[in-house]
Chain A
Amino acid sequence: EPEVTQTPSHQVTQMGQEVILRCVPISNHLYFYWYRQILGQKVEFLVSFYNNEISEKSEIFDDQFSVERPDGSNFTLKIRSTKLEDSAMYFCASRREAEAFFGQGTRLTVV
């Protein structure tokens, strides 16, 4: 069964460093998302991407964040200068119709 895949599964980075989280959405899906979940908290929307551009972003998604779909398969989230509070699970999701399917997540730890 097709699935959303994310790499790496765990990333440890120093505060102020740049990180890139990678995702391969399901191949025939059209909408792509990043969500995050801080430990013990709810899943929060970051950004949606459709037709090669951002369609919506949350207040969390400030200038330190960017997304790209560099080719026909990958979808990346870049955090330019990480802060301690960026430590969270980051989930990529994709959908074609109503249902959104989530990847297994990248646990980002900023030290």
Chain B
Amino acid sequence: QKEVEQNSGPLSVPEGAIASLNCTYSDRGSQSFFWYRQYSGKSPELIMFIYSNGDKEDGRFTAQLNKASQYVSLLIRDSQPSDSATYLCAVNKGRGFQKLVFGTGTRLLVSP
């Protein structure tokens, strides 16, 4: 079982729609969960992180965490073509929970 699993996509949504990106993780002891955006050939760019069950909102982005189901998601409201990228889910692990373990990412395509 992979430590962090994501559907590779692509997930295609029209401009203005809500994009829903999902991630599951295997280690119940994981405490912090991160969403990064990565444009092709570029570095991961932090969108937001969450560590408590429930929702966390930041602008057009909402992260949702359900530790019982070992599931974390990212909603992007009012999707824009500039949101087209690969979205990486990452979990904090290791001693002192220092390192990030990444999923393979979900490619999002927002069409005008």
Contact = CB atoms under 8 A, between A and B. Distances in A.
Interface of A: 31, 33, 35, 41-45, 48, 50, 55-56, 58, 89, 91, 93, 98-105
B17 interface: no
Contacts of B103: 42
A56 B49 CA distance: 22
Interface residues of B, number: 24
B32 interface: yes
Interface string B36-55: 10000011111001010000
24 contacts: A31-B98, A33-B100, A35-B100, A42-B105, A44-B102, A45-B99, A45-B100, A48-B94, A48-B99, A56-B99, A58-B99, A89-B43, A91-B44, A98-B51, A98-B92, A100-B46, A101-B46, A102-B36, A102-B43, A102-B44, A102-B45, A104-B43, A105-B42, A105-B43
B25 interface: no
Contacts of A43: 44, 88, 90, 100, 102
Contacts of B49: 98-99
B111 interface: no
Interface in B58-112: 88, 90, 92, 94-96, 98-105
A98 B44 contact: no
A99 B34 contact: yes
Q: Which of A41, A56, A98, A99 has the most B CB atoms < 10 Å from its CB?
A: A98
A42 B105 CA distance: 7
Contacts of B100: 33, 35, 43, 45, 93, 100
Given A43-B90, A43-B102, A55-B98, 17 more contacts: A33-B100, A42-B105, A43-B88, A43-B100, A44-B102, A55-B95, A55-B96, A56-B94, A56-B98, A56-B99, A93-B100, A98-B32, A98-B92, A100-B34, A101-B46, A102-B44, A104-B42
